[in-house]
Amino acid sequence: MTSTTSARLPTSQLFSLEGKTVIATGGTGGLGSEMCLAMAESGANIVSIYPPGDPGQPRLEETIRSSVVGGSRKVVGFECDISDSQSLRDTFDKIWRTGVVPDILLNCAGLNRRGPIEEMTDEKIDLIFAVNLKAAYVAAQEFGMHLIKLGRPGKIINIASFTSFVAMTNVSAYAATKGGVLQMTKAFSNEWAVHGIQVNCICPGYIKTPLSEALVQQFPEMEQYIINRTPAGRWGEPADLRGAVLFLASPASDYVTGTSIVVDGGMMFR
């Protein structure tokens, strides 16, 4: 069981990730790459679990190495189809066998297949559940079990969604999985707080990414709808998630677990 007291860090170090190692799923995506960069800029090394053949992995590596002063952060990648649970477990085993000592998990991989409920096929449903919910569960499970084995504290940051609370339309399977991620976060936190492992999640609203751009191209009316619905009067940018992820990854959140941070410009309460 972890101690109830800890040494007081100077405030200047409260959000530092110096010397920490982040394992990220979905780190090559529009949201994940920005959060990985933010953590690297705050001192962390990045281990990216990326889809087979994903061109985003070399871009992520180059972005971090060119953005961090002196190129001092380590960035390594492990290719994996995370919709295959056994492949994901095997990938974590490979990571441990290379000697990686983990501190933070960013559970960011996700996808969506929009459409009315009656048009959702088994293929679409199975893929959404496999990537958004089961892979998030398995990644958190493998990560946390290794920390417990090592006797180390750590942080798990799941990425849920505005739709964890407000289901919207034409996203029934996606909303179901993101609601599941929210509850999974609470359940994991209940069992693992005693091991010094904090489990929290970030719930983004509508953020400008290549995926959301494709949505607007398909439904042009969405552009103004989101702006009008959001009290902040704009879409979110991936950079808007930096503060939340640094808080949940750093010592600043050592007594915060089982909670969610909604980053949506106020949309949920309008």
Model confidence at 5, pLDDT cuts 50, 70, 90, reads low
CB atoms within 10 A of CB 7: 4
Domain segments of the chain as ranges = 16-207+238-263
Q: What is the pLDDT of residues 169-216, one digit of tens each?
A: 999 999 999 999 999 999 999 999 999 999 999 999 999 998 788 889
Measuring CA to CA, which residue among 206, 129, 124, 200 is closest to residue 161? Answer: 206
Give the end-to-end CA distance of the chain in Å, rounded to a whole number. 42
Q: Provide CB contacts within 8 A for 49, sequence distance 6+.
A: 23, 24, 25, 27, 77, 78, 80, 82, 88, 91, 109, 139
Q: Which CATH architecture has domain 16-207+238-263?
A: 3-Layer(aba) Sandwich (3.40)
Which pTM value belongs to this model?
Answer: 0.95
- How many angstroms separate the CA atoms of 52 and 78, rounded? 9
Per the residue annotation, which of 50, 174, 225, 255 is the catalytic one?
A: 174
Q: What is the pLDDT of residues 33-81, one digit of tens each?
A: 999 999 999 999 999 999 999 999 999 999 999 887 656 789 999 999 9
Q: Provide CB contacts within 8 A for 239, sequence distance 6+.
A: 34
pLDDT at position 2 over 80: no
Catalytic status, residue 225: no
- How many angstroms separate the CA atoms of 106 and 156, rounded? 6
